[in-house]
Structure 1
Amino acid sequence: MATISSLGSAAGIDGEAIIKQLLTVESAPKTKVQTENSTLSTNLSTWGRIQSAFSAVRDTANALNKDDFWKATTAKSADDTAVSVTSSTSSTAGNYSVAVQSLAQSQYVASNAFAAKTDVVGEGTLTIELGTFTDNPAAPPAATFAAKAAATAVNINIGPGDNTLEKIRDKINAANAGVTASLITDASGARLVVRGSNSGAENAFRISVADADGTNSDGSGLSALAYDPSADITNMTRSQKASNAKATINGLEVTSDSNTLKDVVDGLTIKLNKVTDTATESKPIELTVSQDTASIRAGIDAFAKAYNEAIGLIRTQTMYDAESKTGGPLQGDSTAVGLLNQLRSMASAGTSASSVYGRLSDIGLQMGKEGTFTTNGTKLDKALTDNLGELRKFFSTSNDADPNAAGIGQRFYKMANQIAGSDGSIAARTDGIKSTIKRNEKKIDDIDNRLTLVESRLRAQYTALDNQMTKLNGLSAYVAQQLSVLTSS
């Protein structure tokens, strides 16, 4: 609404100041509600932090309840450059001796040299087929070929537009035939090199040619790229034979088409990096698989940290500081105090899940006077080393029939999950705060509407008064003028 800066000037009063003062009095309830909402918003934010803290307690406690957590292993090789190893939760602790006789290889064949990569080779059809070559000492032929099961021969048509060396390379690579082609250019010229995409004896390949000029094996035209020892056709030269890796593990011979051995030993991935067993020297590599107590210790430490942070947060938000004479945003909040007591009670509770450990203090998590844990590392490490099975029971045993026989991890998880969940006490508390904030916002809107009406009414009243006084002042001036005229006459 537009203001009139001289409102009430005719009456000799400051109408604007009076209206402002009256509106200030009228808006006092709005200020009170706004202050309340500001406090509620702070509380809502605080409850959000507490909910996150309980979620962390829930998640770290639940991690202690999982089978894989307690089955974690670590693997180490005496020489990673020769044999490297990784373990999993299905690995069994133990020692393994690995000797590598040969590595798995892919087949390589190379053409004769051409003057340039743009040279025309020829036209026709290349047929690439994966399989296994078996050398034949009673040649000919030099070898026999057995097609790979489930593999299909791929035909590659070479026409006038793609009959150069580089175009043929591109056609082979686009065919997805289980091989990869490249060009090597040096002082002798450009050569086409074809290699198997995968290592292993069954991933060898032969290249048959149906040459457009009808000479399919004499090395002229497209037949220059033929390679099939089983038909005594070797117009391309094999520079590397497709072969399997060969190794012995604890004296047992194993073969693989890959240098990565997965689950040859349960749960282990063993990578063969170089030969260690030759005709002149044998150097087995020792692998050690052990329980990963470091990761288990880290999980327990993470749980203790999450618990301490939850305790510290609630204490800070509910405490009264005598020096500053100020209280936390949740001072006196019964729900917050109740949650603090629940945490402390759970931390000091005992369990019969283990025959060795009954309380968290037994494994080195000792509670201080403020309710937080301090960790006795020596005691915890001893539990991890001496009684890992009992430690697992202490945390992860599930027993719905008898809560006292359930593990500490299970009990903390259920408590924190209930508190932090959508139907938990924190959600109920925050829902109540949100409802109050919403009601207060409605009150503020109502007050604003009322203030608009009050201001409009006051301005109308003072404007009418000002107009009336202007008229009276005009009449007074007229009367005075007439009296002056009569007196002078």
Structure 2
Amino acid sequence: MSSTIRFDGISSGLDTTSIINALLTSYQQPITQLQQQQSQIQTQQSIWQELGNRLNSLLSTTQSLLQRATVIGYTVQPSDSTPPFTATAGPSATPGTYSILINQLATSTVARSSGPMAADIDPTALLKNDAFRTAVTAGTFTINGVSISVNPNTDTLNDVINRINSSGAGVTASLVTVDGRSRLALTATTPGGPIQLGSGGDTSNFLSATSLLAAPRSGDTITGTRSLVAVRTDLPLAQASFATPITSPGTLTINGVQIAYDPTSDTLGTIINKINASTANVIASYDTQTDRLTLTSRTTGSQQISLSDTGNLLAALNINPSAQQLGQNAVYSLDGGTTWQYSTSNTINDAIPGVSLTLTRTTSTPYTFSIAPNADNAVAAVKQFVDQFNSVLSYLDQQTAYNADTKQAGPLLGDSGALMLEATLRRLVTSPATNVSGPFKSLADIGISFGPVGSAVGTTNQLQLDESKLRAALATNPNAVFELFGATSRATLSTPGDIANAYGSPTGITASGHYVITSDGAGHFTAQFYDASNTLRSTRTETLAPGATSSTLIPGMIVTAASSFTGAQSQITVNYQSGVFSSLAQYLQSTVGPSGMIATRGDSYQQQLRDINDQILVYQDRLNQRREQLIQQFAQLEALLAEMMQQSAQLGMQIPSFLGAGQAASSSNASGS
């Protein structure tokens, strides 16, 4: 559109904007039609995007049913509500009744400080300079109602003890040694005498700083519950009050993992964090009550924790590498104690095939439990598949439907791709599996169908599940159900030759037959697949080094070349099989894949939208040009009308003077005559 400021017909009085818009209607029609077409394509594009999302969800649920663990399930059933273990059973478990006698649980090896790490209190030092667990504050504290003052800037611990003893409070204060470190004790001066500590008016924390305030009374004495001092975990190691000072950097090695430390910057807290964040496989913890560090192996069993130090950190921690409490192994029996089994872990995966047991307590008698089939996971997965499959069908039906009452057609009515997609999905879930050996040949055999034979018209549009029939099939032959779902081709290396080994399931073939792999003895291999009628179906070539493996010579299989080549021919026999969900998953993968129907439709719609947008720009440019032409023409008309109106006005002004002059001339002529 032009940016020129315009005014409707000032001179003519015409609504030129409306006139121009009306004249441009024919130019606007192609743009309007293209915009409508664009909107329709965008609608179809969004429909296919949503369809792709639903197909991806369907693929996910289908792939879940191709997992053996989903279809074949077992559960461990304890004989009471307090089993001595937790347990899970996998698809390879064997149903039956078992018992277990647990004589001993596995524990972890522990290396801990042999005593407190901090230096003991110095009762002759000023309180402010001593390494109390909690710094003593100035003020007063009360014993048996007697107020006693304390000032950490001027008092030593001996000063406070003497002040208590001379206060007349009825107690005697003294230092006692517990676990190698000093604690403060208060003893009643008379047997059975009171020892009442603290009051609401206390202004010093002395009683809590010495761990007396909440300590229990034993006879006539109350002793602090903790030593007066402890290592400071928040100060650098060199300032943390260790009994054995740490003065130089070093490297602590735990189970081969090196942890460097610097006493001027590292604290005990950072050392603990370094250990726990490392791969040393131990857990470091600090006990504030006992002022000890503990290293606990993350694994159980009797293995020792390997410890070494280039400095003296271990010595300061009071940890002797050779004095560890070794963990013990789990000891259990599956035959009532006749034969004992041992494990470094409480989680045992090899006692009963397909079952994982985690022992939680010992037992004095054998504990009985059973392993029974469990179809719940499989049924839930099938229900999810049925729901997602029906979601796709419902969406397709909705988008391709025609409503005769409203005369409204779905956006994909008559779309061949959508119709083919729906037909293929229905065909794949109703077709039998290929070459399966079990009793179940189709999904209908286990209760998955579009309804029983003879169902009323209109009731077979949705996939249905007969849950009781499915559960019965899973109970009687779960392996056959899994084969129906996920059977894949089986291949056997029948003639080794220059191929020494091959395993896997070949993909991309749809018939039984055999691969002939020829070798020229120099590492050049050609794999040719022949079907049962000996018709060549495919050929691939590849170069392999002696002993090398390949996953591309035969797609879906890993083949290993011999250690040396002789030019001998190899043969792989293929028994083609395909489960119902194997075929469905393959189709869905090709449909939603990078070059599948969903992607190509999206690319096509995107290209159409670009083309239409280019056309709209062309028509819009023509429209703008024509608009400018009309605006200029009407502007010229207005200018012409304005000029004519101006000339008319001037003539109008001159006419009276012309008329006056004429009248004067007439009067003069009359007088002369």
User: How high is the TM-score relative to the length of structure 2?
Assistant: 0.57
Which structure has more RCO (C-alpha within 8 Å, separation ≥ 6)? Answer: 1
Measure the CA separation in 2 of the matches of 1:19 and 1:247.
98
CA 1:467 to 1:386, structure 2 compared with 1: closer, same or farther past 3 Å?
same
Equivalent residue for 1:429, pick from 568, 591, 601:
601
**CA distances 1:198-224 after superposition (whole Å, capped 9, x unpaired):** 443223689999999xxxxxxxxx699
User: How high is the TM-score relative to the length of structure 1?
Assistant: 0.77
- Point out the more displaced range, 311-320 or 338-347: 338-347
Preserved CA contact (<8 Å) 2:66 2:581: yes
Per-residue deviation at 1:273?
Answer: 1.3
Report the equivalent of 2:466.
376
Partner AA of 1:385 in structure 2: A
Q: Which runs of 5+ in 2 are unaligned?
A: 116-178, 183-228, 232-240, 452-457, 490-508, 513-575, 662-673
Report the equivalent of 2:625.
453
Q: What does 1:372-451 align with in structure 2 at a 5 Å threshold?
A: 372-399=462-489, 400-402=509-511, 406-451=578-623
Measure the CA separation in 2 of the matches of 1:306 and 1:181.
51
- SS where residue 202 of structure 1 aligns? coil
Two-structure CA RMSD over aligned residues (Å): 3.8
Report the equivalent of 1:44.
45
Q: What does 1:342-357 align with in structure 2 at a 5 Å threshold?
A: 342-351=424-433, 353-357=436-440
Measure the CA separation in 2 of the matches of 1:301 and 1:411.
19
Partner AA of 2:415 in structure 1: D
Partner AA of 1:258 in structure 2: S
Measure the CA separation in 1 of the matches of 2:273 and 2:600.
63
- Point out the more displaced range, 192-201 or 386-395: 192-201
Report the equivalent of 2:541.
none
**CA distances 1:420-457 after superposition (whole Å, capped 9, x unpaired):** 33333333333322222111111111122112211111
- SS where residue 181 of structure 2 aligns? coil
CA 1:72 to 1:378, structure 2 compared with 1: closer, same or farther past 3 Å?
closer
Preserved CA contact (<8 Å) 1:30 1:444: yes
Equivalent residue for 1:114, pick from 181, 196, 218:
181
Measure the CA separation in 2 of the matches of 1:476 and 1:41.
59
Measure the CA separation in 2 of the matches of 1:260 and 1:319.
58
Equivalent residue for 2:421, pick from 325, 336, 339:
339
Equivalent residue for 2:331, pick from 227, 246, 250:
246
Measure the CA separation in 1 of the matches of 2:84 and 2:59.
43
Identity of aligned residues (%): 22
Preserved CA contact (<8 Å) 1:169 1:183: no
CA 1:48 to 1:209, structure 2 compared with 1: closer, same or farther past 3 Å?
closer
Measure the CA separation in 1 of the matches of 2:66 and 2:467.
21
Q: What does 1:193-232 align with in structure 2 at a 5 Å threshold?
A: 193-198=293-298, 199-203=300-304, 225=318, 227=320
CA 1:16 to 1:3, structure 2 compared with 1: closer, same or farther past 3 Å?
farther
Measure the CA separation in 1 of the matches of 2:633 and 2:39.
36
Measure the CA separation in 1 of the matches of 2:627 and 2:432.
67
Preserved CA contact (<8 Å) 2:329 2:343: yes
Report the equivalent of 1:276.
363
Preserved CA contact (<8 Å) 2:245 2:316: no
Per-residue deviation at 1:31?
Answer: 1.1
Measure the CA separation in 2 of the matches of 1:52 and 1:96.
47
**Structure showing greater Rg:** 2
Match status 1:358 vs 2:441: yes
- Point out the more displaced range, 33-42 or 299-308: 299-308
Per-residue deviation at 1:314?
Answer: 0.4
Structure 1 runs, 4 residues or longer, greater than 6 Å off = 124-130, 153-159, 166-170, 204-212
Partner AA of 2:466 in structure 1: N
- Point out the more displaced range, 358-367 or 174-183: 174-183
Report the equivalent of 2:640.
468
Partner AA of 1:243 in structure 2: Q
- SS where residue 201 of structure 1 aligns? coil
Measure the CA separation in 2 of the matches of 1:156 and 1:485.
118
Measure the CA separation in 2 of the matches of 1:431 and 1:174.
53
Match status 1:35 vs 2:117: no
Partner AA of 1:27 in structure 2: Q
- SS where residue 436 of structure 1 aligns? helix
Preserved CA contact (<8 Å) 2:256 2:306: no
Aligned residues, how many? 439
Report the equivalent of 2:654.
482
Measure the CA separation in 2 of the matches of 1:37 and 1:256.
70
- SS where residue 27 of structure 1 aligns? helix
CA 1:95 to 1:4, structure 2 compared with 1: closer, same or farther past 3 Å?
same
Equivalent residue for 1:98, pick from 80, 97, 100:
100
Measure the CA separation in 2 of the matches of 1:84 and 1:317.
51
CA 1:421 to 1:311, structure 2 compared with 1: closer, same or farther past 3 Å?
same
CA 1:464 to 1:153, structure 2 compared with 1: closer, same or farther past 3 Å?
closer
CA 1:81 to 1:388, structure 2 compared with 1: closer, same or farther past 3 Å?
closer
Per-residue deviation at 1:367?
Answer: 0.8
Measure the CA separation in 1 of the matches of 2:370 and 2:481.
24
- Point out the more displaced range, 436-445 or 329-338: 329-338
- Point out the more displaced range, 99-108 or 456-465: 99-108
Q: What does 1:127-206 align with in structure 2 at a 5 Å threshold?
A: 151=255, 178=282, 180-185=284-289, 190-198=290-298, 199-203=300-304
- SS where residue 342 of structure 2 aligns? strand
Preserved CA contact (<8 Å) 1:73 1:88: yes
Q: Which runs of 5+ in 1 are unaligned?
A: 131-150, 213-221, 231-237
Match status 1:64 vs 2:131: no
Preserved CA contact (<8 Å) 2:72 2:375: no
Partner AA of 1:10 in structure 2: S
Match status 1:260 vs 2:351: no
Per-residue deviation at 1:486?
Answer: 1.0
Partner AA of 2:641 in structure 1: M
